[in-house]
Amino acid sequence: MSEKLPWYKRFINFLKDVRSELKKVTWPTKQEVYGTTIIVIIAIFFFGFYLFFVDVIFSWLIAQIKSFFG
């Protein structure tokens, strides 16, 4: 049965494993990051405005229903 390594040796092995895994990562180019960032910002504004207008419409609709019945 093998002996358990001390915590600091396990930590060093962990850091070596992390470093080797990070070398396998394919990082996006600067243009890809820029392009996807622009798309995310546009999507945020689009859905923000969409949800705002849906909220306004439903609020008006509920106010009309309340005034009709109440």
User: Which position has the higher pLDDT, 69 or 30?
Assistant: 30
Question: pLDDT-based confidence at 1, cuts 50/70/90?
Answer: low
User: Is 51 domain-assigned?
Assistant: yes
User: Is 48 domain-assigned?
Assistant: yes
Q: What range defines the domain where residue 64 resides?
A: 7-69
Rounded Cα gap, residues 40 and 6, in angstroms? 46
Interval 9-67: pLDDT, tens: 999 999 999 999 999 999 999 999 999 999 999 999 999 999 999 999 999 999 999 99
User: Is 1 domain-assigned?
Assistant: no
pTM above 0.85, yes or no: no
Q: What is the pLDDT of residue 70?
A: 74
User: Is 2 domain-assigned?
Assistant: no
User: Is 15 domain-assigned?
Assistant: yes
Total domains in the chain come to 1
Rounded Cα gap, residues 54 and 40, in angstroms? 21
Rounded Cα gap, residues 44 and 50, in angstroms? 10
What torsion do the CA atoms of 51, 55, 57, 59 make, to the nearest 10 degrees? 180
